[in-house]
């Protein structure tokens, strides 16, 4: 690394067991009086919990958040926000729910307080996504960055083992790609190293015992740090591949990341020796792709894209779309390289 520009994003984080009790304080700090509570249908109990805590500050609830932020869902949430006169929102849940809060920030300018309950990291980024007619559009806008993030590990005890493991690998992928990003800085490298170490230590324990409070705290801390890496840098081949795979074949987001990551790492790290050195330290291993493979196996990430129902004949279309779009990466893969990565990820050769 010879020179760099470090342009930090604003970040307010309230972290700790029981931190959810402080949501009303965070809403007051922003001067909000009528907050719309957002969740998925399955996280209704979490929505009820924060609604109680917010008392008169909760103007209404919208529990229709869905994966990939469909524009119809956003329109429905906008109607509710208008009907209750919302001046902000509080999202509680994973990347899908936080994605809906971002869409409302983008369209209505509503500031958000978010309470993440998975390890996806979206809360730390100014990146939004919207899906219409099966096509996902993404963009960056500082207006969508949550104004306050409340991390409460106690809320993650019930996050199922499979979701925890895959979502944790998703977070690690942000840090891996930040380490070889063109806009990486020493601050980002430090966050990435600590985030990967936290998650690699915590995830096997979380999967073995979801109520291990210390491991849940460590995993959520790792997710925060890795999410901050994502927010500050430009992602490479791994995120491009997962974006195309997810969008084209409607695959589960976190599992796709968990499966693909070791294969892209095996391709990229020989061309990114500094990133490799940081990851070797963070993982306590000499062979980073092998360590990522065994971590994915240990935390129950499905073995190969074929286990997600991907057909072998779909892989060529994925390569075509990845080759057609520009993205930054330490080394530009030729078609044969991409096909090799996809073949290995499809077979699940771990």
Residues that bind ligand NAD (CB under 6 A): 40, 42-43, 67-68, 93-97, 99, 117-118, 120-122, 125, 127, 129, 155-156, 158-159, 163, 167, 230, 253-254
Which runs of consecutive H residues, i.e. helices, occur in 269-324? 273-283, 288-298, 315-324
- Report the alpha-carbon distance of residue 219 to residue 195 in Å, rounded: 8
Closer CB to ligand NAD, 108 or 290, in the complex: 108
Please list, in sequence order, all residues whose beta carbon lies within 8 angstroms of the beta carbon of residue 82, skipping any fewer than 6 positions away.
none
Nearest residue relative to ligand NAD (C-beta): 95
**Helix 253-268 to helix 161-179 angle, to the nearest 10 degrees?**
40
Closer CB to ligand NAD, 12 or 281, in the complex: 12
Residue 260, classed as helix, strand or coil, is: helix
Q: What is the phi/psi pair of residue 173, to 5°?
A: -60, -35
Closer CB to ligand NAD, 28 or 52, in the complex: 52
**Integer angstrom CA distances of residue 290 from 85, 123, 157:** 52, 29, 29
Minimal distance in Å, beta carbon 229 to ligand NAD?
11
**Integer angstrom CA distances of residue 138 from 5, 111, 141, 267:** 24, 19, 10, 26
Closer CB to ligand NAD, 40 or 148, in the complex: 40
Minimal distance in Å, beta carbon 270 to ligand NAD?
27
Closer CB to ligand NAD, 88 or 129, in the complex: 129
Minimal distance in Å, beta carbon 5 to ligand NAD?
21
Q: Give the closest residue to 243 by CA, choosing from 293, 318, 180.
A: 318
Minimal distance in Å, beta carbon 67 to ligand NAD?
5
Closer CB to ligand NAD, 64 or 95, in the complex: 95
- Report the alpha-carbon distance of residue 142 to residue 258 in Å, rounded: 28
Minimal distance in Å, beta carbon 238 to ligand NAD?
13
Minimal distance in Å, beta carbon 193 to ligand NAD?
20
């Amino acid at each position: 690394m010879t020179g760099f520009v470090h342009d930090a994003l604003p970040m307010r984080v309230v972290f700790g067991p029981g931190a959810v009790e402080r949501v009303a304080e965070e809403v007051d700090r922003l001067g909000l009086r009528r907050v719309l509570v957002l969740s998925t249908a399955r996280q209704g109990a979490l929505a009820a919990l924060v609604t109680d805590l917010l008392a008169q500050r909760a103007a209404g609830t919208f529990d229709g958040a869905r994966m990939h932020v469909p524009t119809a869902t956003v329109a429905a949430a906008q109607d509710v926000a208008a009907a209750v006169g919302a001046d902000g929102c509080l999202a509680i849940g994973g990347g899908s729910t936080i994605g809906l809060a971002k869409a409302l920030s983008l369209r209505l300018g509503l500031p958000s307080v978010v309470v993440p309950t998975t390890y996806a990291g979206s809360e730390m980024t100014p990146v939004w996504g919207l899906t219409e007619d099966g096509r996902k559009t993404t963009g960056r806008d500082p207006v969508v960055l949550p104004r306050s993030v409340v991390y409460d590990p106690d809320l993650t005890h019930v996050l199922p083992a499979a979701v925890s493991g895959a979502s944790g690998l998703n977070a690690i992928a942000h840090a891996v790609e930040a380490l070889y990003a063109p806009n990486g800085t020493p601050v980002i490298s430090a966050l990435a190293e600590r985030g990967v170490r936290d998650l690699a230590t915590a995830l096997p324990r979380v999967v073995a015992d979801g109520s291990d409070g210390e491991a849940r705290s460590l995993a959520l801390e790792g997710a925060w740090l890795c999410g901050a890496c994502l927010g500050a840098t430009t992602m490479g081949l791994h995120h491009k591949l997962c974006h195309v795979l997810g969008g084209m074949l409607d695959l589960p987001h976190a599992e796709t990341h968990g499966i693909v990551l070791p294969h892209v790492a095996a391709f990229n790290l020989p061309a990114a020796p500094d990133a490799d050195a940081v990851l070797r330290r963070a993982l306590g291993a000499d062979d980073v792709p092998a360590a990522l493979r065994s971590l994915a196996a240990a935390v129950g990430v499905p073995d190969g894209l074929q286990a997600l129902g991907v057909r072998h004949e779909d892989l060529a279309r994925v390569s075509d779309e990845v080759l057609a779009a520009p993205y930054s990466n330490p080394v530009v893969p030729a078609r044969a390289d991409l096909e090799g990565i996809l073949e290995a990820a499809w077979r699940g050769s771990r």
